[in-house]
């Protein structure tokens, strides 16, 4: 049986729609998935009890999907089953996002669960090499994409951000903890469509969790910023509601280029 550790956004509901048997939906208190009613709501202080409950329900596989804000820990609410885990997740909470997620994976694997990636459940969420829009990348898009490669590699060293904006051969914005939409909102629009949003996973990140995502809202933000298109790493970025994404890009005369990093 599959359980989703479901966070915010549309990804959890997309995964539910992709499988024939409804998975068990678990949500951290205060972080509810869009369009779904959780079967189990838990706190970090009761994580140990959650692991036992999942095993008792016959769960063998779990998938982390959707955004989760970094929780705080109320030591007064820790239950007995969670106490042995406290040193692990207290150390994890002091790390960056990648380190914290690796710790979470380790906890679930140690409890006997297989941790699956969202794209293993729904392979159609990833794009392979190619351009899926009517509009094509501009003349210097190759050069800008290589700059995007180098920038994300640099950002990955700090475990911060999975996207940047390139215009006129320069990085004009880098994603931080506020996310891609906030980064795009902070840009001044250009009268002409110039530059690209570049998005990809952090180098060496565990791709079972926290793959970068784009959706229709991303397209609208890029359009408002006056960008010519969106470039994503082929096989490394989840595309939510692909038909709506492509339709919106075509409507704005923008491109979507899925590209193998380093090419």
Q: Are residues 82 and 180 in the same domain?
A: no
Q: Are residues 147 and 249 in the same domain?
A: yes
Is the whole model's pTM more than 0.85, yes or no? yes
Structural domains counted in the chain = 2
Domain boundary (94, 121, 148) is at 121
Q: Are residues 135 and 36 in the same domain?
A: no
pLDDT at position 75: 79
Show the domain range for 49.
2-121
Is the alpha carbon torsion for 91, 24, 9, 204 positive or negative?
Answer: positive
Residue with tokens 């007064």: 76
Of the pLDDT bands very low, low, confident and very high (cuts 50, 70, 90), residue 188 is confident
Q: Are residues 142 and 112 in the same domain?
A: no
The better pLDDT of the pair 205, 107 is held by 107
pLDDT tens, 9-67? 899 999 999 999 999 999 988 888 888 999 999 988 899 999 999 999 999 999 999 88
Query: What are the phi and psi torsion angles at 164 (to 5°)?
Result: -150, 165
Domain boundary (121, 147, 170) is at 121
Q: Are residues 116 and 130 in the same domain?
A: no
Domain boundary (99, 121, 143) is at 121
Worst-scoring range by mean pLDDT, 4-13, 128-137, 182-191, 248-257?
182-191
Of the pLDDT bands very low, low, confident and very high (cuts 50, 70, 90), residue 1 is very high
pLDDT tens, 68-126? 777 777 878 888 888 888 888 777 766 666 667 788 888 999 999 999 999 999 999 99
Within 10 Å of residue 48's Cβ, how many Cβ atoms?
19
In sequence order, the 6+-apart residues with CB closer than 8 A to the CB of 38 are: 6, 25, 26, 27, 32
pLDDT at position 97: 67
Q: Are residues 156 and 203 in the same domain?
A: yes
Domain harbouring 11, CATH code: 3.40.50.20
């Amino acid at each position: 049986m599959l359980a989703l550790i479901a966070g915010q956004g549309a990804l959890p509901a997309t995964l539910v729609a992709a499988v024939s048997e409804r998975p068990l939906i678990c949500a951290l208190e205060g972080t509810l998935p869009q369009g779904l009613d959780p079967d189990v709501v838990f706190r970090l202080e009761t994580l140990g009890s959650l692991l036992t409950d999942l095993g008792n329900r016959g769960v063998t596989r779990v998938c982390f999907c959707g955004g989760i804000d970094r929780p705080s820990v109320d030591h007064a609410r820790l239950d007995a089953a969670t106490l042995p885990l406290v040193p692990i997740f207290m150390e994890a909470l002091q790390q960056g996002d990648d380190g914290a997620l690796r710790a979470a994976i380790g906890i679930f694997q140690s409890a006997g669960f297989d941790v699956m990636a969202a794209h293993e459940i729904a392979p159609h969420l990833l794009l392979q090499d190619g351009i899926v829009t009517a509009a094509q990348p501009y003349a210097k898009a190759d050069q800008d994409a290589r700059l995007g490669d180098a920038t994300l590699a640099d950002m990955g060293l700090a475990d911060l951000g999975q996207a940047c904006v390139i215009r006129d051969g320069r990085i004009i914005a880098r994603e931080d903890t506020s996310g891609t939409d906030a980064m795009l909102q902070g840009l001044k629009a250009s009268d002409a469509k110039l530059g690209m949003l570049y998005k990809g996973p952090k180098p060496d990140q565990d791709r079972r969790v926290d793959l970068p995502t784009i959706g229709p809202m991303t397209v609208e933000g890029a359009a408002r910023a006056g960008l010519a298109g969106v470039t994503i790493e082929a096989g490394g970025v989840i595309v939510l509601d692909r038909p709506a994404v492509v339709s919106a890009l075509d409507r704005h005369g923008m491109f979507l280029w899925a590209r193998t990093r380093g090419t």
